[in-house]
Amino acid sequence: MTTPIIFDTDPGVDDAQAIAIALAHPDIELLGLTTTFGNVEVATATYNALLLSELAGQSIPVAQGAAAPMSKPKSPPPAHIHGANGLGNIDLPPVKGQPQPVSAGQFIVDTVNARPGEVTLVAVAPLGNLAAALQIDPSIVDKVKRVVVMGGSIREGGNVTPVAEANLFNDPHAGARVLTAGWPLTMVGLDATHRCVLDPAAMARIAEAQGELGKVLAGSYEFYKAFYQQALGFDGCCPHDSCALAWLMKPELFTTQRGHLNVVTEGHAEGQTIFAPEGRPFITERWSTTPLAEVCLDADGAAVVDWIVETLS
């Protein structure tokens, strides 16, 4: 049985790896790519989304969305991590395709309403597009099959602040709406993604098997890896965004717990995700009033990376 998804993305080196998986996996039906600011400006994200699917020889609808956060000022894109072009500053060809004539939020609403109960939203970027879709049509809460978010961190600490993961930090107000909307939701955050390291041998196998797309994956990986080497001192990178798809297709590789999520929207801890496990009493109930969600607290990193390499080679 195939799994129809919309992939919400800000490509981005690790986004590109995940898009390759969504394009390649025989059991994933990629209904569309929706783009947002984040790792890059939104126009660059849209170009990269079109390019990656064209390099794979596929024509996938791309709908452009959020150019900035809902409320806070936008930070400049992290060009030192993903490159100014989002793909490690390697030379890229022009694209043939055009984005859809509707916004990302409208595309999500239309697609979910066309196939109620079937579509999974996989979001691996700041969450403005999903927040916009909720604003346009709140009834999609009951019509999506599931929402899988790569973002947040419970016990692992943050990656852009001591407590915040980048996607939630970049738009905490949108994140708060999406993580507490009450739809079936799984959060795949740094607690899981930091267990996974895509090493150079794994990338070599992927590059060899992926043709023209493989050249872009391998070239952008070299740039991204240099950042990991400098910042964290290991030879490889965390394939954050691919982990959301790994959870969707291979949930048995992850340890999850149900509970209530809250997102801090202001102040020093902005973008922090707070998790109150189901049934656990705290001094007041204030952290346990949001709808239940599922949160990944650990992953079998080696098995996840094996799955990524198998899917792409």
Q: Which residues bind Ca ion (CB under 5 A)?
A: 10, 12, 15, 124-125, 241
Smallest distance from the beta carbon of 278 to Ca ion, in angstroms? 28
Assess contact for 124 and 7: CB atoms under 8 A: yes
- Closer residue to Ca ion in complex, CB, 30/276: 30
Is the torsion defined by CA of 184, 190, 191, 194 positive or negative? positive
Burial class (CB in 10 A: 0-12, 13-18, 19+), 90: middle
- Closer residue to Ca ion in complex, CB, 10/165: 10
Other Cβ atoms less than 10 A from the Cβ of 282: the count is 10
Question: Which residues contact residue 272 at a Cβ distance below 8 angstroms, ignoring those fewer than 6 apart?
Answer: 153, 158, 161, 163, 164, 168, 263, 264
Smallest distance from the beta carbon of 155 to Ca ion, in angstroms? 21
Smallest distance from the beta carbon of 116 to Ca ion, in angstroms? 27
- Dmax over CA atoms of the chain, in Å, equals 58
- Closer residue to Ca ion in complex, CB, 196/276: 196
Residue carrying the six token digits 């969600």? 293
Annotated catalytic residues are 10, 240
- Closer residue to Ca ion in complex, CB, 124/276: 124
Smallest distance from the beta carbon of 39 to Ca ion, in angstroms? 6
